[in-house]
Amino acid sequence: MADYVVYDVFTDTAFGGNQLAVFPEASSLHENALQKIAAEFNFSETTFVYPPRHDGHAARVRIFTPTSEVDFAGHPLIGTVIALSKLGYPSPMILELGIGPIECLVSDTGASFTVSKPLQKISEPDITRVATALGLPIDAIKTNIHPPVQASLGLPFALVELDCRESLSACNPDIKTIRECAKLYPTGLDFALFAYVRDGGDIKSRMFAPLDNIPEDPATGSASATLAALLTEILGEPQNLSFTQGEDMGRPSYIKASTTKDPITITISGNAVQTMAGKFIL
């Protein structure tokens, strides 16, 4: 048996945000069980916490989607650090992830982490294919700031700016085209799409990764961080951004992203609410 807790992340209210299962003491779990457990929960991600490998670090964290292990993701990091804080871990704490150690802070208003990993721009997918993948006309995609671009801070997304909130609501992902794009532009995720509209620092967003058993994600901190880094690079100045995601799913989430320039660092912050606790019987 192994204890777990479930949090709704990037929300102050239960039944909002993005669900996360956390196993605070995962050392007793067999390696072969981890992916099966994540698939059983079928949340966007599940985290497994282990003793740290290096002195001075709080813990090592492994992150699994329903189909694979990933090196980095935003809402699992926020949810896990808040869960560990509730269990007595002091703030700040350094967590070891696949992309390296990340310092996290916890306060009465939530948690934050800062990423300084360089932005990786992987490809510029064909705009017609991207529009079809989102189920939108091509003129719904804006290109004056950037064309659709696959980028990553440890987890890759196709970042797509849209012309208006109505187009964002109208997204209707086409699995056949997404599967074609995943073959044309292979990355760690199978052509995950992060579509957004921006009004200054206010961003409304949606994320689709249906080939990874995530038809739509209510909160994607890693994609928000990647977009924040991209905008900092393109616009040439630090950004303070507020993301609202999950509204079209009925699970609104709220993510804050702030950046520095030279070098570019990205700080993601948000809250989480515990909704469940239990034992996984193996």
User: Which residues are tagged catalytic?
Assistant: 45
Task: Please list, in sequence order, all residues whose beta carbon lies within 8 angstroms of the beta carbon of residue 262, skipping any fewer than 6 positions away.
Answer: none
Task: Please list, in sequence order, all residues whose beta carbon lies within 8 angstroms of the beta carbon of residue 246, skipping any fewer than 6 positions away.
Answer: 16, 17, 18, 217, 218, 219, 252, 253
Distance CA 125, CA 5 (A): 39
Residue 203 tokens, joined: 């961003």
Distance CA 111, CA 74 (A): 11
Distance CA 208, CA 185 (A): 16
23 and 46 Cβ atoms separated by less than 8 Å: yes
Burial of 225 (0-12, 13-18, 19+ CB in 10 A): buried
219 and 245 Cβ atoms separated by less than 8 Å: yes
